[in-house]
């Protein structure tokens, strides 16, 4: 094995370990205190809604209820802030409704 190949393998290993650490330490993706303060928990969320409130709803559906909401978003976990068909389906499975507020959703846990 030549020197260049060794450096490539070491570099790839380091990147892999860093990604694994990031993945394991940020699993629940809880909102920060600042984000929590800016969420409008009374906003009615439904198909076509967008924004941080939708992203929080998706985070709850994905990480608190284990629902699959696709593979879009920054981390390819479905949390993208866009209330589409997969978010609607997950919400129907959890609450039996097609629209909800974050306040109502937090009462569902």
Is the overall model pTM greater than 0.85, yes or no? no
Q: CA-to-CA distance for 8 and 50, rounded, in angstroms?
A: 41
As to burial, measured by CB atoms within 10 angstroms (0-12 exposed, 13-18 middle, 19+ buried), residue 58 is buried
Residues 64-96: tens digit of each pLDDT:
999 999 998 888 889 999 999 999 999 999 999
Whether 23 shows a pLDDT value over 90: the answer reads: no
* CA geometry: angle 51, 47, 80, nearest 5 deg: 40
């Amino acid at each position: 094995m030549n020197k260049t190949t060794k450096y490539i393998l070491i570099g790839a290993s380091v990147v892999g370990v860093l990604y694994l650490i990031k993945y394991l330490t940020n699993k629940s993706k809880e909102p920060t205190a600042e984000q929590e303060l800016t969420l409008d928990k009374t906003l009615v969320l439904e198909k076509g809604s967008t924004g941080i409130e939708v992203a929080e709803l998706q985070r709850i559906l994905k990480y608190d209820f284990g629902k699959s909401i696709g593979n879009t978003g920054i981390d390819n976990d479905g949390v993208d802030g866009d209330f589409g068909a997969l978010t609607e389906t997950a919400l129907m499975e959890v609450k039996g409704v097609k629209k909800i507020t974050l306040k109502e959703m937090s009462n569902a846990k």
